Chains A and B, each alone.
Chain A
Amino acid sequence: MVAGCRKNNRKIQKLLYDRYCDAMFTIAYRIINDYDNANDILQEAFIQIFRDIKKFRGDSTLGAWIKTIVVRTAIRKLKKENTFTQPGFHPNGETISWPEEMTGDDLEKAILSLADGCRTIFLLIEVEGYKHKEVAEMLNISVGTSKSQLHYAKKQLQVLLKDFIER
């Protein structure tokens, strides 16, 4: 498939797109929290993917490579459209307890209600599986900030989920 994309075979490129578009769109949507912008990110990212696929050396899986491009494109867009700042937060060792009755929809709704900064960090670490070091490099923040923001996001989610479930 990679070889076909490198030869600009449009059918192979379409196959690649179809395979990854939903997953990548979901990532973009959760980061940017806007349907139209997520579409723009997807288009921009896939154009870059097909243009740069000659540089893909196979160090990681094709899906991980594509996801990195989508995430970076989404972060760039987020920074461009918003003041991408993280509120100061210092974990104080509190215990977080997730409500047993929460569903995936509740969780996504709560995630999308988070502030841009901590939402992105939560998504990248907890959903997409990136390490704090990788997130810090992508967002140009310190590892400590990434950790504190993740904790802050979880605290916020706990409150938000409680509200959603009580409704």
Chain B
Amino acid sequence: MIEKNRNILSNALKDMPVRSPKATNWDHISNDLDQIETSAFISETKSKLPKHKAPEDAWANIASGLASPASSFFNSLTGRLITASVLLGGIIGAYFLFTSPSPLHNEIEEQIPVPEVSVHDQAKEVQQHEINAKVEVSELSQANDAPQNEIIFIPASNGPDLTQNTQEPRFNNIVYFNDDNSNTRIKSGEKLNKLEPVPPGQLTASAKNNKKPRYYTSRSDKSYSNYYMQDPGKPKFKFGIFYSYKQFQDIDQEGMDIPQHLSSFGIDLYYETHKWFFKTGLEYLSWEEKGNYTFDYDQNQMIYQYNYVDSVLVNTGNDQITYYTSEKQVFDSIPLQKSDQVIYNYKILQIPILIGYKLVDHSKFNLAIIGGIGCDLRVSGKQFTPVFNEESSTITDINNSLEYRSNINWRLIGGVEIDYLFTNKWGLYAEPTYQQYMKPLYVPNTSKGVGLFSIKVGIKYSF
């Protein structure tokens, strides 16, 4: 690059005007220096302040104010899953515990091998051995009409007196059972052994024909009712599917739109023995709650504009002055406020643990009172995500004091259950209850727990 007459540039550079800053500049600098000195003084002084030792019991007070490990365990998803698994496992375990056969079952089964002969053959053998039977012929003829490979229970008082017999009858499906607590007369088959007394409801005999013995439970067939052992009170399990409607009381929260009633579905599991029953299950609730929140933000907005004179051209020939201007815009940060809606999407599992007592126990109609507790586990509580698309803006404050559902809560439950059985296995049931939450539904909130009326309607199956 060749630069001609560079001295012209040098001279022009020297002639360039020198400008002065604002007169108030020094004041600003001086003030800032004062603040710096003050900050330095405070910092220096702070380091000289006496230091105090924290009280020894401070941590103990802090720790007592923190949430207990058990609470945090139940609040975690893992804790909830483990709790639900333990409850479910307990129910399944209880089922197997109460439905598994007694150890006496196998023992007796081995002691009473029964040959596979027809009912007619059995009748003939009864005659051939001329047993001194006390059974009426008509009753034996009824026994002959019994289904094949079916065990028939006949009261020992009506059967042969086997205490003095050396020969034993050869029946494969007739069992004499004791009705006067004398175990010497309970005999059956060709190898009858002395049987130990067994509790009611316990299996007493078995055939080796791959068909399990059973209790006579048919209500329609009365022909063998005298010979079949009636069910002496076997525990029953029941399973129900229901629809539930809940009406909350005093659930209003300021600034929130909360549904006053909810509908849900669920299952019930029952374990019944005589008039008492234990009941648990699972109920799933899902709903939305809405509320409003506000947030403050600063937005960079144009507050005014003006024409800036870039240069002035004076034409000395005609004294005309030409102004060259450009439009300047002045922006400033404007504090603004905006409202938006919150949507909470809740999903809750409810697990009741109830005990019931049947006040009315008819074949078609039952009425029971029930009471217990229920656990609410919040499995999901998705909250809003603030979406803020304003350009050149910064959120300065979010006023979101809205409350949300607690992770876990307990209810006291009391009510009645009404059953209508249209068969011996199937029935309809209704369960009106009043439920009182033991803790506030929403946190942070110091108010008492709310109450609710609930009505369940479902179908029940016994097995």
- A and B associate in one complex: yes
Which residues of A line the B interface, CB within 8 A?
8, 10, 13-14, 17-18, 21-23, 25-26, 29, 38-39, 42-43, 46-47, 50-51, 91, 93-100, 102-109, 111, 126-127, 151, 154, 167
Complex Cα distance, B2 from A94, in Å, reads 7
The answer to whether B392 has its CB under 8 Å from any CB of chain A is no
Q: Determine if A102 and B12 form an interchain contact, defined as CB atoms under 8 angstroms apart.
A: yes
The answer to whether B423 has its CB under 8 Å from any CB of chain A is no
Q: B14: which A residues are within 8 A, CB to CB?
A: 104
Closest to B4 in A: A97
Q: Report the minimum CB–CB distance from A95 to chain B (whole Å).
A: 4
Closest to A106 in B: B12
Which range contains the number of B residues in contact with the other chain? 20 to 34
Q: Determine if A25 and B313 form an interchain contact, defined as CB atoms under 8 angstroms apart.
A: no
Complex Cα distance, B5 from A80, in Å, reads 37
Q: Determine if A38 and B21 form an interchain contact, defined as CB atoms under 8 angstroms apart.
A: yes
Q: B12: which A residues are within 8 A, CB to CB?
A: 98, 102-104, 106-107
Q: Determine if A39 and B5 form an interchain contact, defined as CB atoms under 8 angstroms apart.
A: no
Complex Cα distance, B29 from A14, in Å, reads 10
Stretch from B32-40, B99-107, B372-380 forming part of the interface with A: B32-40
Closest to A155 in B: B1
Q: Determine if B25 and A39 form an interchain contact, defined as CB atoms under 8 angstroms apart.
A: yes
Closest to A100 in B: B8
Q: Determine if A96 and B3 form an interchain contact, defined as CB atoms under 8 angstroms apart.
A: yes
Complex Cα distance, B18 from A108, in Å, reads 10
Q: Determine if A17 and B18 form an interchain contact, defined as CB atoms under 8 angstroms apart.
A: no
Q: A94: which B residues are within 8 A, CB to CB?
A: 1-2
Q: Report the minimum CB–CB distance from A106 to chain B (whole Å).
A: 7
The answer to whether B16 has its CB under 8 Å from any CB of chain A is yes
Q: Determine if B5 and A98 form an interchain contact, defined as CB atoms under 8 angstroms apart.
A: yes
Not counting A42-B25, A102-B8, a sample of 8 additional A-B residue pairs whose C-beta atoms are within 8 angstroms of each other reads: A29-B19, A39-B22, A39-B25, A42-B21, A47-B29, A103-B15, A151-B1, A154-B3
6 nearest A-B residue pairs (beta carbon)? A104-B15, A25-B21, A104-B16, A107-B12, A98-B8, A97-B4
Q: Determine if B13 and A13 form an interchain contact, defined as CB atoms under 8 angstroms apart.
A: no
Complex Cα distance, B14 from A68, in Å, reads 20
Q: Determine if B18 and A23 form an interchain contact, defined as CB atoms under 8 angstroms apart.
A: yes
Closest to A36 in B: B22
Q: Determine if B37 and A8 form an interchain contact, defined as CB atoms under 8 angstroms apart.
A: yes
The answer to whether B45 has its CB under 8 Å from any CB of chain A is no
Known A10-B30, A21-B25; contact A100-B2, beta-carbon cutoff 8 A: no
The answer to whether B198 has its CB under 8 Å from any CB of chain A is no
Q: B32: which A residues are within 8 A, CB to CB?
A: 43, 47
Complex Cα distance, B30 from A47, in Å, reads 8
Q: B232: which A residues are within 8 A, CB to CB?
A: none
Q: 16 A-B Cβ contacts within 8 A?
A: A14-B30, A21-B25, A22-B18, A22-B19, A22-B20, A47-B29, A50-B29, A51-B33, A96-B3, A104-B12, A105-B16, A106-B12, A107-B9, A107-B15, A109-B311, A154-B1
Closest to B3 in A: A96
Select one of B3, B15, B16, B20 contacting A21, CB under 8 A: B20
Select one of B2, B17, B22 contacting A96, CB under 8 A: B2
Complex Cα distance, B2 from A26, in Å, reads 29
**Central interface residue in B5, B9, B21, B37, by most chain A CB within 10 Å:** B21
